[in-house]
Amino acid sequence: MKIVLIGFMGSGKSTIARELGKQLHKEVIEMDSVVLERTECTDMAHVFEKGGEILLREWEIKLAKEWKDASDVIISTGGGVVMNKIILDYLKENEGQVIFLHSSFETIHDRIQQDNTPRPLFQHEEEAKKLYDFRLPLYKQYADHEVDCDDKSVEEIVSEIKSFI
């Protein structure tokens, strides 16, 4: 089965994907890392400097198409994949199960403050909150399952996901 994790920046997709991969003995693909490899960039700020947000979105579409027939894999996506419906259409192919990791903006904000990963679209709190509000219905729309992640441990979130699949 192809498991696809979606959610806003800082919602814990990578951490959950790693733990789920360990427990289910499945390969984990980090979409952001593959974008960095393919664009030969050091981080997301570098991608945005090189080609703007559009370069990232073009790569997300190409990779989703490349992985549409994948099976037995966990794909941790970038928070912006919901901006292009075609990405989710590809990722849902071959019985892909899309799981939305839903954290509140407050939880995400606190987490991102403590993390120094460059996030070009999370520079100003107000703009990030607008983006969060805009995307929330999209994550819900594309998800086959939604996990409420606030105040839950990694172990609790992973076992909830395992109960769906």
Q: Which residues bind ligand S3P (CB under 6 A)?
A: 9, 13, 32, 44, 78-80, 119-121
- Choose between 76 and 161: whose C-beta lies nearer to ligand S3P: 76
| Element counts in the chain: helices (H) and strands (E) | 7, 5
For residue 155, count other CB atoms closer than 10 A to its CB: 10
Min dist. Cβ of residue 61 to ligand S3P (A): 13
- Choose between 6 and 161: whose C-beta lies nearer to ligand S3P: 6
Q: Which two tokens stand for residue 36?
A: 């960095």
Min dist. Cβ of residue 120 to ligand S3P (A): 6
- Choose between 26 and 120: whose C-beta lies nearer to ligand S3P: 120
- Choose between 69 and 115: whose C-beta lies nearer to ligand S3P: 115
Min dist. Cβ of residue 71 to ligand S3P (A): 23
Min dist. Cβ of residue 16 to ligand S3P (A): 12
Give the whole-angstrom CA distance, residue 83 versus residue 81.
5
The answer to whether 2 and 140 are in contact (CB under 8 A) is no
- Choose between 79 and 96: whose C-beta lies nearer to ligand S3P: 79
Min dist. Cβ of residue 36 to ligand S3P (A): 10
Please report, as a single letter, which amino acid is at residue 27.
E
The answer to whether 22 and 74 are in contact (CB under 8 A) is no
DSSP-derived 3-state class of residue 145 = strand
CA distances (Å), 146 to each of 6, 63, 103, 112, in order? 10, 24, 10, 21
